[in-house]
């Protein structure tokens, strides 16, 4: 049965989509069957995998509204992992689902029939702590938290961890934090060094040993419809995500 990892942070631009894409490909390289779920209305994950989101009718939106089964929305990708794509329709989901009974568990119920097909399911969450993210946390076994090495990004981490604790207490007791992943790190700046030191001091072993350094290659790769592991296979960023995959497999 698949291990479901939701990649979440209510702050945008911290590397959630980059992490889902590249971690998914790295796990696939390790011989694992991987499903990626795009739960962000911006559909950046789908676009990064060269899915024509404006033409896609079988998306996670239809799955959440019980219009189709999850298995009917799964698409193969050239990078290896399968994908349940998203498009802008997903922006309406939070309003449409608000009156549903058991609305926090709709994603978990939808993914249950396909869990036996995969080793890992990675969920790309939107940059908010709304109903979609809560659904992702309820469905997950673990939450992976990308954290940009900036002071303002660090400020919101406590709120996210409190949300995780509330979901764990009331909706999903087995939920655990897989770790805090430092992203977009520029070791040449004193600010980044100080934030990294503060994060390690505050959160200890929850901070993963792998650090994702800032690089323009992370912007170039999705523009080509590729992960960085495919686009620049020997790049430091590709090696870092392979190391992250191995860390999660321990």
| pLDDT digits 0-9 by tens, 41-50 | 999 999 999 8
Using an 8 Å Cβ cutoff, are 26 and 244 in contact?
Answer: yes
Listed residue (47, 39, 17, 28) closest to 224, CA to CA:
47
Q: What is the pLDDT of residue 149?
A: 83
What secondary structure letter does DSSP report for 2? Answer: P
pLDDT in tens, 213-228: 999 999 999 999 999 9
SS3 242: helix
- What is the side-by-side order of every strand in the sheet holding 142-148? 82-84, 34-38, 120-124, 3-7, 142-148, 176-185, 207-213
**In this structure, what token pair is assigned to residue 135?**
């659904």
Listed residue (70, 159, 158) closest to 115, CA to CA:
70
**Checking DSSP bridges between strand 176-185 and strand 82-84, what pairing results, if any?**
unpaired
Judge whether residue 35 has pLDDT over 90.
yes
**In this structure, what token pair is assigned to residue 205?**
């072993």
Using an 8 Å Cβ cutoff, are 139 and 108 in contact?
Answer: yes
Listed residue (83, 36, 87, 95) closest to 61, CA to CA:
87
53-70 average pLDDT score: 90
Using an 8 Å Cβ cutoff, are 139 and 111 in contact?
Answer: yes
Using an 8 Å Cβ cutoff, are 91 and 41 in contact?
Answer: yes
191-211 average pLDDT score: 92
Using an 8 Å Cβ cutoff, are 230 and 221 in contact?
Answer: yes
Structural domain span for residue 91: 3-249
**In this structure, what token pair is assigned to residue 70?**
């999850």
Tell me what the pLDDT averaged over the chain comes to. 94
72-78 average pLDDT score: 95
Which residues share a beta bridge with 145? 180
Burial of 162 (0-12, 13-18, 19+ CB in 10 A): exposed
pTM assigned to the model: 0.96
What is the number of domains present in the chain?
1
Please report, for the domain that includes residue 184, its CATH number.
3.40.50.300
**In this structure, what token pair is assigned to residue 4?**
């479901």
């Amino acid at each position: 049965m698949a291990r479901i990892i939701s990649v979440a942070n209510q702050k945008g631009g911290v590397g959630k989509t980059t992490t889902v894409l590249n971690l998914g490909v790295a796990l696939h390289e390790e011989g694992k069957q991987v499903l990626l779920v795009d739960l962000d209305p911006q559909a950046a994950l789908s676009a990064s995998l060269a899915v024509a989101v404006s033409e896609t009718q079988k998306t996670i939106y239809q799955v959440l509204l019980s219009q189709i089964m999850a298995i009917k929305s799964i698409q193969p990708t050239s990078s290896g992992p399968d994908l349940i794509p998203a498009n802008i329709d997903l922006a309406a989901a939070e309003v449409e689902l608000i009156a549903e009974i058991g609305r926090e568990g709709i994603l978990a119920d939808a993914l249950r029939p396909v869990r036996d097909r995969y080793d890992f399911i990675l969920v790309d969450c939107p940059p908010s702590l709304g109903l979609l993210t809560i659904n992702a946390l309820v469905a997950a076994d673990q939450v992976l938290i990308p954290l940009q090495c900036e002071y303002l990004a660090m400020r919101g981490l406590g709120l996210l961890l409190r949300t995780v604790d509330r979901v764990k207490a009331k909706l999903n007791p087995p939920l655990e934090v897989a770790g805090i992943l430092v992203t977009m790190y520029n070791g040449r700046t004193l600010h980044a060094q100080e934030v990294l030191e503060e994060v390690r001091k505050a959160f200890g072993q929850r901070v993963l040993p792998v650090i994702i350094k800032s690089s323009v290659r992370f912007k170039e790769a999705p523009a080509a419809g590729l992960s960085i592991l495919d686009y620049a296979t020997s790049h430091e960023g590709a090696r870092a995500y392979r190391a992250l995959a191995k860390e999660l497999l321990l």
